[in-house]
Structure 1
Amino acid sequence: MPKDSGPLVPLHWLGFGYAALVASGGIIGYAKAGSVPSLAAGLLFGGLAGLGSYQLSQDPKNIWLFLVTSGTLAGIMGMRFYNSRKFMPAGLIAGASLLMVVKLGISALSKPHQ
């Protein structure tokens, strides 16, 4: 019988919320502007972020997928925000992604790895 790992820690719920934000951004971009690339990117990156968050809930040392996903989005959307100066959607996603990278980095550095 599998061992119960207990409830998910707040970081993981934050990660699932982040994944939902990214995916819903793609859906909204498609609904408002008919942008298929927004839909595809939102669902792809939202799915990867959700998978990364799930992996974190199973093993707190397994941060790489989530870190790469949020770091990539922070870079891409940060450049879009820098060029357009529009908060929605690029600034919001860049800010949320940067916060996730910082949160993951702090949690990775504060826990000793075996």
Structure 2
Amino acid sequence: MGIRCDKAFSDAEDHELHTRKLTTANSFQSLSASIPFSLQWIGETGNLPTMTNFDMVLWGFIAVLLTGGLVGYFKAGSRVSLLTSGLIAALLAFAAWGFFGTTTSRSVARFIVGCLFCLFGYRWWVSRKFMPGGLMALAALATSGLLAGFDDH
């Protein structure tokens, strides 16, 4: 069956196409019903949920964290920087998706960002160099302040 632009589809072909679409939609609904609740955020209609301000701030920090890990890897060859930024970003992504439940996920995210502020702040204090410890400490501090201002309801 090729693409036909020169003639209109018959009613039988329209019915067959409509039936195929319904079958695909029903298959997707039965597949999504078997997925754990935490991964059903896409929903049966395929629409993404509305992101809250908390989520947007957290995803922004995840992007900064991953960028820092990539810069550390490409500039200094630090595999540890790449690995730890990836693991911590994955934990924060699970929290952003609400994997631990809404309130607990937000608490986990706040705790992780707070720990990162302490770690990077300590590295900045010891080395007296702004890059990378100072920059990441300030980013974590700003993120912590923003995340603390959002309600958990």
- Same-fold call, TM > 0.5? yes
Contact 2:54–2:150 (CA under 8 A) maintained in structure 1: no
Secondary structure class of the residue paired with 1:95 = helix
1:9-67 C-alpha deviation (Å, 9 max, x unpaired): 222112101001101211110111111111111111122222222229x73x3312201
- Please give the alpha-carbon distance, in whole angstroms, between the structure 2 residues aligned to 1:11 and 1:64: 12
Moved over 3 A (4+): 1-6
Q: Which is richer in helix?
A: 1
Identity %: 29
Once the two structures are superposed, the pairs formed by residues 27-46 of structure 1 within 5 Å of their partners are: 27-46=70-89
Alignment match, 2:118: 75
Residues 6 and 44 (structure 1 numbering): CA distance in 2 closer, same or farther, change over 3 Å?
Answer: closer
Corresponding residue SS for 2:110: helix
- Say if 2:57 and 2:147, in contact at 8 Å, map to a contact too: no
Instruction: Give the length in aligned residue pairs.
Output: 108
* Residues 1:10 and 2:53 are matched in the alignment: yes
RMSD: 2.5
Distance in 2 between residues matched to 1:40 and 1:71, nearest whole Å: 19
Listed as ranges, the matches of 1:46-85 within 5 Å are 46-55=89-98, 59=102, 61-62=103-104, 63-85=106-128
Contact residue 18 and residue 49 of structure 1 kept, 8 A: no
Query: TM-score scaled by structure 1?
Result: 0.78
- Give TM-score, length-normalised by structure 2: 0.60
Q: Where does structure 1 lack aligned partners over 5 or more consecutive residues?
A: none
Other structure's SS at 1:55 match = coil
Larger radius of gyration: 2
Where in structure 2 are there 5+ consecutive unaligned residues? Answer: 1-28, 30-42
